[in-house]
Amino acid sequence: MKIGSRNIGGDSSVFIIAELSANHNGSLENALETIKAAKRAGADCIKLQTYTADTMTINSKKDDFRLKQGTLWDDKYFYDLYLEAYTPWEWHKQLFEAAAAEGLICFSSPFDFTAVDLLEDLNTPAYKIASFEITDIPLIEYVASKGKPVIISTGIAEIEDIELALDACKRMGNTDIALLKCTSSYPAPIEEANLIMIKDLADRFGVISGLSDHTMGSTGPVVATVLGAKIIEKHFILDRAIGGPDASFSMNEQEFTDMVKAVREAEKAVGTIDYSLTDKQQKGREFCRSLYVVKDMKVGEEITKENVRSIRPGYGMHPKFYNEIMGAKVKTDISVGTALSWELI
């Protein structure tokens, strides 16, 4: 997969997305400063959400439209929440341009067809399907038809939902797909992260996989990296004191910086499957055990457990020959501390 100039998957480093979401709290200045902060923190990408209250739902005060799922937004009505949280569409061009100026990739999660049209006008390099939209097959088909990479969160998905979403993309001739493990709780308890799914998503569906993380801290992203995640998405905010619907479970600049550092270190620690030794590791073999003469020996004397031992350092014969040489005779006088070799036997 390639998003903009960035290769994702294979041997490429983890693609780290800073999710702006509602963390501008209604201020364009906050949004622009957040983009700059994301760059400083080491993000590869800033991601937006493209909707309005009217494209997301209707302004109804019926009980169906009141949040009551045990979330931090409970008792708000959907329309009121989205009216508070949305990123004004007239900001999008400026935000895309600001990201480009910082050297960040920018794309968005669209929530209806008109949002896709707006993002196409901005030449978005990719699309993200949010967790709760994985069942919106017509939207996924429309997104996939644009021929751009599609990243899909699986937060509330059963396996059939994932299969239907993938089939929708493929019907449009689009196989440039990534699936993100996601726990759709805000914040998500670490014990519900179930990150082992990251590898299964990749193996089962033949796609790039990653993590859209709502847990607190860096543990989830680090473990995800070790488990093979190629994309990590985390909500990002200048300062939680700004407030807003997503502030409480978003990382500030220092936290995000620390997370990026931890992820990059985890990548280095994972390394590659390679049984060969570096020059430094080869040098370290000098500390291995080997066979040494531990008592002075006279010519013709037999090798015994008393005069030859397997000890450090590793300049003598390999210990695997220990039993083989027991009872053999030495060709010359040998002083204690001499590395045993075949030439002396």
Query: With 90 as the cut, is the pLDDT of residue 184 above it?
Result: no
Total-model pTM: 0.88
For residues 265 and 283, state if they share a domain.
no
CA distances from 88 to 5, 21, 112, 272 (A): 27, 11, 15, 44
Model confidence at 162, pLDDT cuts 50, 70, 90, reads very high
Rounded percentage of the chain residues whose pLDDT exceeds 70: 99
Domain membership flag for residue 1: no
pLDDT value at position 136? 98
Structural domain containing residue 315:
279-344
Q: What is residue 88's three-state secondary structure?
A: coil
pLDDT value at position 261? 98
pLDDT value at position 187? 84
pLDDT value at position 210? 98
pLDDT value at position 71? 66
Domain boundary among 270, 301, 328: 270
Contact yes or no for 333/304 (Cβ under 8 A):
no
For residues 161 and 285, state if they share a domain.
no
Number of domains in the chain: 2
Separation between Cα atoms, residue 269 and residue 224, nearest integer Å:
13
On the 0-12 / 13-18 / 19+ scale of CB atoms within 10 A, 7 is middle
- The rounded Cα 249 to chain-centroid distance in angstroms is 18
Domain membership flag for residue 67: no
Domain boundary among 270, 294, 315: 270
Looking up residue 136, the CATH number of its domain turns out to be 3.20.20.70
Separation between Cα atoms, residue 30 and residue 281, nearest integer Å:
50
Looking up residue 318, the CATH number of its domain turns out to be 3.90.1210.10
Model confidence at 168, pLDDT cuts 50, 70, 90, reads very high
Kindly state the helix (H) or strand (E) to which residue 241 belongs, with its residue range: none
What angle do the packed helices 92-101 and 28-41 form, to 10 degrees? 30
For residues 329 and 231, state if they share a domain.
no
For residues 100 and 241, state if they share a domain.
yes
- Of 256 and 188, the structure prediction assigns the larger pLDDT to 256
For residues 228 and 310, state if they share a domain.
no
Q: Of the candidates 183, 184, 137, which has an alpha carbon nearest to the alpha carbon of residue 163?
A: 137
pLDDT value at position 72? 65
For residues 98 and 218, state if they share a domain.
yes
Domain membership flag for residue 56: no
Contact yes or no for 151/207 (Cβ under 8 A):
no
Domain membership flag for residue 160: yes
Domain membership flag for residue 66: no
Domain membership flag for residue 6: no
Q: What is the pLDDT of residues 40-79, one digit of tens each?
A: 999 999 999 999 999 999 999 999 999 886 666 777 899 9
Model confidence at 188, pLDDT cuts 50, 70, 90, reads confident
67 token code pair: 């949040």
Q: Where are the alpha helices (DSSP H) in 196-310?
A: 197-205, 219-226, 253-270, 279-284
What angle do the packed helices 28-41 and 253-270 form, to 10 degrees? 30
Q: Of the candidates 3, 7, 16, which has an alpha carbon nearest to the alpha carbon of residue 234?
A: 16
Rounded percentage of the chain residues whose pLDDT exceeds 90: 87
For residues 328 and 185, state if they share a domain.
no
Q: Of the candidates 22, 59, 9, 14, which has an alpha carbon nearest to the alpha carbon of residue 247?
A: 22
Average pLDDT over every residue of 202-215 = 96
Residue with tokens 């983890």: 14
Average pLDDT over every residue of 177-193 = 89
Query: With 80 as the cut, is the pLDDT of residue 186 above it?
Result: no
CB within 8 A of 73, min separation 6: which ones? Answer: 67, 81, 245
For residues 261 and 283, state if they share a domain.
no
Mean pLDDT, the chain, whole residue set? 95
Average pLDDT over every residue of 113-142 = 97
Phi, psi of 160, rounded to the nearest 5 degrees:
-65, -35
Domain membership flag for residue 74: no
For residues 201 and 285, state if they share a domain.
no
Which residues partner with 106 through β-bridges? 46
Domain boundary among 246, 270, 294: 270
Query: With 90 as the cut, is the pLDDT of residue 278 above it?
Result: no
User: DSSP secondary structure string, 105-143?
Assistant: EEEEEE-SHHHHHHHHHTT-S-EEE-GGGTT-HHHHHHH
Query: With 70 as the cut, is the pLDDT of residue 271 above it?
Result: yes
For residues 307 and 188, state if they share a domain.
no
pLDDT value at position 334? 98
Separation between Cα atoms, residue 331 and residue 89, nearest integer Å:
90
For residues 19 and 129, state if they share a domain.
yes
For residues 32 and 160, state if they share a domain.
yes
